[in-house]
Structure 1
Amino acid sequence: MTACTRVDCDGSIDETDYCDTCGRPAETRPSSSSSSTGSRRSRSDDPASLPVFDFPDPTSRILTDPQVPVRARRCGNPDCPDPKALPAQGAGFCLACGTAFSFLPSLAPGDLVADQYLVVGCFARGGLGWIYLAKDTHLDDNPVVLKGLIDVADEDLATAERQALTTIDHPNIVRIFNFVSHPDTHTGTPRAYIVMEYVDGLVLNEVAEQSRLGTLPLGEPLRTEHVIAAGLQVLAAFDYLHERGLLYCDLKPDNVIIRSGRHGERGNRVKLIDLGAVRRVGDRSGKVVGTRPYQVSDAEIAERGLTVQSDLHTVGETLRRLYLETADHRAGQYSAAERRRIEVGLESFRRVYTKALHKDPDHRFASSADMADQLRGVLREIASLRDGQPRPEPSTRFVHTATLLDDGLGVVPPLSRWIGELPEDLPLDLGRPAPAVVAIGLPVPRATADDPAADVLAAADAEDPRRLLDRLDTAGLRTPETAFVRCRAALAAGDVDAAVESLSQAGNLLGDDRDWRLRWHEGLIALAEGDVEEARSAFDAGYAELPGEDAPKLALAYCDEHSGAFAKAEARYGSVWRRDRSVVSAVFGLARVRLAQGDRAGAVTLLDETPPVSRHYDAARIAAVRVLSGALARSGQLDRPHAAELAAANDRLSRLYLDGGATTGQSRVRLEAVVQEAELAAAMAGDEVLRRHEDALRQRLERSYRALARQADSQAERSDLVDLANTYRPVTFR
């Protein structure tokens, strides 16, 4: 077996691809060749961890008067005409059908079950039976749990539960030690009991209720990260069950415990504690056990039976209800600023459980693993928004792109900027790329490995688009992935009609118009056509399908920026950037948004966050120089940089890596001219510091223009630049 790569876990990955100690799936580590895009994992602490909290002695939880509430009582006869027609006493006969019932505990304190388990008392009630605390007298009086049935008419469920439980062994599912029987205290009839491990922790329903009352059951406010961490461990257990053809069927906060963590547990802190409703996939003969509203509708059960998707519905409802009790949701728990900082991540989380709760089961997640994949992405997103620390991880749905979505802010201006009549007093071009450029620069969906053309298409998006189209025509490949690649290649070649045709072909080959890749490419085509609002709608649909992915949020942020919705754009760009510092397009988008609002210093601070290992590091540093020296448009006027900002621009320029590292060169001369123009313009506009040096500024700018003239390709261009130099030389009198 392979060793688990999680921090502080010494377990091994078993044949299920899950760790036998922490219970989490095998972690995919990127190869060392990915270093050019930044560190892929930068934190040693795990955002999926749960806080350690104190938990009282188990005997303190014993019920002194265990009773089943009248509202929860039902006749055990599935054919009973009125299952609620039970008298008020704890035992008797149904008034509607005459079936015997007993809701009384069948074990009493002091009973010795199977000559081994000494009953301490009743401490909880499960959906199918009383739960007793006992001591294992054969093993140092270790605490164990005995679970019986609420009603003797449910004996068939005990058999089904026993058969299912004997094969289950997972760190997030309560362990079964034994099956025993003991005479009922009231009737003397033998009753069957399951002996389970005792879990010292809080039932999730207790966590929710105490959080609602303002207490701190976990020792700190209940946060969305805690809910997600519990959800991920539940999904790990579900994935284990589903892989073995079993459904859990009755997930709810009452059936999940968070362990206290006092005994050195690492990741497997969550346990499913009641498996009474477990059944085989496809089994429609047994009694349906579930809890409203966690369970799907009767109509869906009648049509499809219980399925993996109905199980995931219960996960979605559990996450939703727990989220409503978090400090992130409840008013007054956190400051408005804290809430705003993480709001995009919370939206992503809400989209996860909304997808799981979709009325159409075909629109829910395909599997527990798929849901967990998106939930892990959301966890990293929220945690990074919360503390500002990046938590990158390679996407399973998109290929990381090297394209920088910037239209010139991060490059040295070409010589053509100074050829012809030099425009004066124009604001800094913020470098927002055109929609058609973004359409071919956004991340690319990862090809499915089972597509027949996957090998041929492996490097397709890096190839010249027209050459690629010719090659695909020659190969004669007709698969969904080929059609998607044709669509993107046609967009890169500027042929929108061909892109539309290819996307239509992809839809026909898939035979399913719900595929998220169709929505993604619809968004790309809309951008290419300049219809940003239509693109927003398509990308939003993609976000609903993939809430844990960065790419849909990056696309939506651009649409927001384009439409002037700067607050939304900043939040979404920020969410992508805080999580993954290799997506430099996000920080350029953030900088543009700040500049559009006149925040020069904020834009520079953001650009400075670009890590040195990024391939776009130099572009970010060039952009910072241009931002510090550029005039910003504000309320119809130009906001020019002042002397200190221009001095900072000069200092940064002197340390830039340009022209292959040479101290002088064509790029450096052009960028120096940009800064010097800004200095002279500020002096002429009245900057007191620079005004005193006007002659020196003119002399420097004149020299720069003459150096630019030496870069010209023609005599005419050279003459224009010399004339420009003469225009700005200081006036002298002799």
Structure 2
Amino acid sequence: MLDQGGATSADPAQWHVRILDAQSDVLLGTGFLLHGEYALTCAHVIGARAEVRLDFSLGDRDRVVATRTGFSGNQAEASRDIALLRLAEPRHHSWSAPLVERAELQRRAAVWCYGHCAQYPDGTWVELTVAGRAGAGGGLIQLFTEPAGRNVEVGFSGAAVLDSRDEAVLGMVVLKSADSHPHGMAWMIPIRTILEQLPDFQGAVVEDPPQRSAARRLEQFDSRIRELVRAEHRVVGLRRCLSRATSSLSDSPWSSNEFRVRLAGFRRKVAESPDGVSPDELDGLDRELTAARDFVGAERARLEEIGARSERPETVGDVCPRPDCPGDPGRIDETGFCEACWRRPPAESPTREGADEWRCAGLVTLPKLKFPRADWATGAEPSVPRLEKGTWVGRGRYQVWKYLAKGGYGSIYLAYDENLKREVALKALSDRYDQRAAGALRSEAWYLTRLEHRNLVRAHDFFQHPEVPAEGEPADYIAMDYVKGVPLSELATLPRNRQDPPLIAEILAYGCEILTALEFLHQRGLCYTDMKPENVIRSSDRIVIVDLGGVWEDRKDGRRPSLTRGFHPEQGPGKFRPSVSTDLYSVARTLIALIDDVADDDLEKVRYSMDSVQCVLDRALDPVSARRFTSAAEMADQLKGVLREIMALSGFAQRHEASRHFEPATSDLDGGLGAVPPLEHWLDERAELTALGRPTPEKVVQELPAPLVDPHDRQAAYLLRVTASDFRRLTSELTGSVESQLKACRAALAEHGGPDVRAAATCLAAAREQRRHDAERGEQSPGPAWRLDWHAGLVALASADFDGAWRHFREVRTLLPGEAIPAVALGLCWEYRGDAKEARRCYEAVWRRDKAPAGATFGLARLFLRDHKRAEAAQVLDAVPAVSRQYDAARIAAIRAYLIKLGESGWPTAEDVSEAARRVNELLRDDGEHRRYDAEAHVRLTAWVQTAALAVLEHSAAKVEFTEPHELAMFADPPGRRNLQKRLERSFEALSRQTRNPAEHQALLDRKNRLRPVTWW
């Protein structure tokens, strides 16, 4: 029986009604509709009432009045205890119970009814079993519940009795309040008996009753399995009365947990497709459930016969803590799931271990976490454990403490190692007859005991259990490190603070650590093959890759690789072969799965960097193998570059790291913005310093850092040493090499008289042709030909083809999203194309990540100056670290930012000149120690700021006074225009000594004399 504690969520049919007193709405019983106009129930339910109210459970919540008809049954005779009611407001004709006449019901056949009672006024399903005919003349069918329990409640009188496999109504429950049935009995008036008294309703009989949906049958199975659980607990309690050592039904050919696992699989199929489970499969489960119920019932009867007594069922497992659990109470069984609500108990959230931290991938600082529960290997569905709690395995070394979950080929348990005095994880082969699984487990044991890496789980032992053949077929077991934590698929459960790095940065850092472990495997000729979020554990202070059963060694492995759908490239059945490329593909898919779970608001904060993230993922997933990463280390390098960008844009300072693909910068690409003004600036007093410092395309192609020589090139060793710039000599002496042609291309662009674009294009074409020949001979360098695109961009830039240059540099940026130099080149192209917004995005991404790369700092400052934002430009320049080779130029550029004229009328203000004076004073004072500038530069810097101050005094409408200490030191003490002119006069005299010819000397003396105050003598 599914007693009243086993209500399901399956709704009754629309023809089902609840019968209430018309005056008080007190529950009287149950009934069902015929032809939408009549209701059938028991006569004793209606009693002497002339009318009642009907409440519909589905489709219509209105209560309808129903009155007696002319038919009058006999309450005293159970087989004639029938009442027919007419609805005051009839429903549609289709609202009619599908009656079926069955000449004989098979003994022990399962039937169902849905009724109401005081405890469950909204109704509940009850399972019953046919016992046989009863009553005078066999006009009734006796029913009983399995196992014997509470009687069917009084409110069930009038309920339709349904076949267990379809919607056929076989009869009506009849049960009076005076009846008492200690063995859980009830009676049914069969349809044939009803129709003998109501022949006019023969039309309600159907030949082909509606089939019960798979979903409804699964709900019924759910109820039966729950009752089987309770029956098993009762038997366990009886066995404990006889022997405390006996605590399970291990001798049973069936178990409720196995049924639950099968039911979960059926539910998943039905959720995917209503026809996902065939009726034959459901009938098979139905038969096995009946057999299991009979076995448990027989075992209970046997135990009670030999004297076992138990006042209540054995309590198994902890109480389910979920408030909405339908159990009374629900218990957590050995599968880790509640036997009532079929869910795991809510996971206890991990907590931070004080202020302790660890650096993931050397870039992202994360808190150390404490995981209170032993549940890292959680599963979405229950699985039946083979070992019980307390079992000793491994020659008495390991005691099983808890079942954790089902892994790829086996079950995982938490155990205690008696020798090492610590917790371990035991992985057991689930199917000992599965040779493929056995091979995978042994392979995993072999690799786990030989591979030592911080990010790979370690194994300590491999054994079989049981050791004695008489105790059963032995199964393989691995004892490995027990890693407390959660799989990456459950990152959302981890505690986070506002001060923590963005979740996307954390995910990318995990990706870098995963790639480090895969590089370790790849260097040993191994492939992991089964990367996915569930196989990576975030523990207290590291990430750990588990489940090494799929590790593949190409030279030896004849096994079929272990794969998870969606995490490996589709190559057709039987064609997949693990490789470095396929491992990197699975890493990219893993990162995508994790990023998909990041909230949109969190992604919005780093939206400008998500394009770089996508570039890394796209390259790993590229269908063209030649464009993919060639190693895990290469992918990790680009991923770290993008990660540094995201961390910097999120406010986390980053250290400078040298590029692995480009030579160090030898030029600032400042376009003169960071240079002390030349002497020519003072030769013409009408000249103003207005240039914003954008380098010319010709200058850019000469000063952008060159790509490092491809180490796979046949001339690589020689090219690393050659310094000549004569491309003709290089072309003639270094033939048959892509890199030699590219170096010749750069030499042509660096000609002193200006770039020789035609010669550079010729060299580039020769490099492309050489790479094509190398590919035909199988000698092509691995990876995409991004160096060709880089040089194509240089040639296009030298030709003033800014759109073409942008396309080529964009391709390089797509392949190397973690590199700074391609982003700088893109920023310059955006500037030349007139899109300052996109140029700023490129420069800022590089500048925030690393203040050192050539061009980004000055490019960003230049764009601020274009918008007349002097202070912002200076702030960018001030961020250049003192150890950078750009430091001196940045200090000069910051002074220039306050002194140059911006646009037609953007003259410096008194505040701008004052700030410039402060900076010049500071620079000259510091240079007294470090001697970065010569005496001539000191004079020009002083004259520069004094000239700007005099211009402010002469053109300002308001009175201006420079009275600050640094102003007095630079301009005049005491302050005033005349004293400032005297200071500037001395500066021009010093400048005149820097001239190169008499004309320049005379020009500066003339400017000096014009500054001298007019006197009478």
Q: TM-score, normalised by structure 1?
A: 0.77
Deviation, structure 1 residue 520: 1.2
1:59-138 alignment runs, 5 A limit: 68=381, 104-116=384-396, 117-138=398-419
Larger mean CA deviation between 552-561 and 196-205 belongs to 552-561
Aligned to 1:612: 882
Match of 1:271 among 530, 539, 544: 544
- 1:331 equivalent to 2:600? Answer yes
Amino acid at match of 2:405: A
Q: Distance in 1 between matches of 2:393 and 2:636?
A: 41
1:385-534 alignment runs, 5 A limit: 385-419=649-683, 422-423=685-686, 428-458=690-720, 460=722, 463=724, 465=725, 468-469=726-727, 471-473=729-731, 475-493=733-751, 494-511=755-772, 514-534=784-804
Match of 1:351 among 597, 609, 615: 615
Aligned to 1:312: 584
Deviation, structure 1 residue 271: 1.4
Q: Per-residue displacement from partner, 1:499-549 (whole Å, max 9, x unpaired)?
A: 111122222223369311111111111211122222222122112211222
Deviation, structure 1 residue 372: 1.7
Deviation, structure 1 residue 695: 4.5
Deviation, structure 1 residue 194: 2.4
Aligned to 2:141: none
Deviation, structure 1 residue 699: 4.9
Amino acid at match of 1:271: V
Check the 8 A contact 2:527/2:579 in 1, yes or no: yes
Change (3 A) 1:484 1:62: closer
Aligned to 1:56: 372
Amino acid at match of 2:763: S
Change (3 A) 1:170 1:224: farther
Change (3 A) 1:220 1:726: closer
Aligned to 1:178: 461
Q: Distance in 2 between matches of 1:382 and 1:496?
A: 38
- 1:281 equivalent to 2:563? Answer no
Deviation, structure 1 residue 600: 0.4
Change (3 A) 1:344 1:399: farther
Check the 8 A contact 1:584/1:610 in 2, yes or no: no
Q: Distance in 2 between matches of 1:665 and 1:732?
A: 32
Deviation, structure 1 residue 314: 0.6
Aligned to 1:6: none
- 1:643 equivalent to 2:959? Answer no
Check the 8 A contact 1:252/1:314 in 2, yes or no: yes
Q: Per-residue displacement from partner, 1:113-137 (whole Å, max 9, x unpaired)?
A: 2333322332122233322222223
Deviation, structure 1 residue 718: 3.7
Q: Distance in 2 between matches of 1:604 and 1:44?
A: 34
Check the 8 A contact 1:124/1:132 in 2, yes or no: yes
- 1:541 equivalent to 2:811? Answer yes
Q: Distance in 2 between matches of 1:503 and 1:227?
A: 40
Q: Distance in 2 between matches of 1:311 and 1:662?
A: 52
Deviation, structure 1 residue 595: 0.8
Aligned to 1:156: 436
Q: Distance in 2 between matches of 1:500 and 1:136?
A: 70
Check the 8 A contact 1:405/1:585 in 2, yes or no: yes
Deviation, structure 1 residue 333: 4.6
The 3-state SS of whatever aligns with 1:166 is helix
Deviation, structure 1 residue 433: 0.3
Deviation, structure 1 residue 109: 2.6
Check the 8 A contact 2:376/2:484 in 1, yes or no: no
Change (3 A) 1:428 1:519: same
Percent of residue pairs identical? 37
Deviation, structure 1 residue 459: 5.2
Q: TM-score, normalised by structure 2?
A: 0.56
Change (3 A) 1:537 1:304: farther
Aligned to 1:207: 491
Aligned to 2:129: none
Q: Distance in 2 between matches of 1:504 and 1:663?
A: 45
Q: Distance in 2 between matches of 1:61 and 1:246?
A: 26
Amino acid at match of 2:704: L
Deviation, structure 1 residue 684: 3.5
Q: Distance in 1 between matches of 2:864 and 2:735?
A: 46
Deviation, structure 1 residue 388: 4.5
Check the 8 A contact 1:207/1:217 in 2, yes or no: no
Deviation, structure 1 residue 430: 0.9
Q: Distance in 1 between matches of 2:365 and 2:506?
A: 8
Amino acid at match of 2:592: R
Q: Number of residues paired by the alignment?
A: 625
Q: Distance in 2 between matches of 1:250 and 1:456?
A: 42
Change (3 A) 1:507 1:164: farther
Q: Distance in 1 between matches of 2:536 and 2:452?
A: 14
Check the 8 A contact 2:365/2:501 in 1, yes or no: no
Match of 1:652 among 911, 919, 943: 919
Q: Distance in 2 between matches of 1:170 and 1:537?
A: 45
Deviation, structure 1 residue 377: 2.6
Amino acid at match of 1:582: A
Change (3 A) 1:382 1:653: same
Larger mean CA deviation between 613-622 and 542-551 belongs to 613-622
The 3-state SS of whatever aligns with 2:703 is coil
Deviation, structure 1 residue 613: 3.1
- 1:714 equivalent to 2:997? Answer yes
Check the 8 A contact 2:441/2:476 in 1, yes or no: no
- 1:197 equivalent to 2:481? Answer yes
Amino acid at match of 1:298: Q
Q: Distance in 2 between matches of 1:176 and 1:665?
A: 70
Q: Distance in 1 between matches of 2:367 and 2:498?
A: 6
Check the 8 A contact 1:51/1:218 in 2, yes or no: no
Aligned to 1:226: 506
Amino acid at match of 1:314: S
Check the 8 A contact 2:445/2:462 in 1, yes or no: no
Q: Compute the RMSD of aligned alpha carbons.
A: 3.5
Check the 8 A contact 1:249/1:311 in 2, yes or no: yes
Deviation, structure 1 residue 616: 3.1
Check the 8 A contact 1:158/1:276 in 2, yes or no: no
Q: Distance in 2 between matches of 1:415 and 1:676?
A: 15
Check the 8 A contact 1:259/1:270 in 2, yes or no: yes
Amino acid at match of 1:642: T
Q: Per-residue displacement from partner, 1:37-96 (whole Å, max 9, x unpaired)?
A: xxxxxx9994255421110142x6798xx8857xxxxxxxxxxxxxxxxxxxxxxxxxxx
Q: Distance in 1 between matches of 2:873 and 2:550?
A: 56
Higher relative contact order (CA 8 A, sep 6+): 1
Amino acid at match of 2:568: Q
Match of 1:249 among 518, 529, 535: 529
Q: Distance in 1 between matches of 2:498 and 2:921?
A: 53
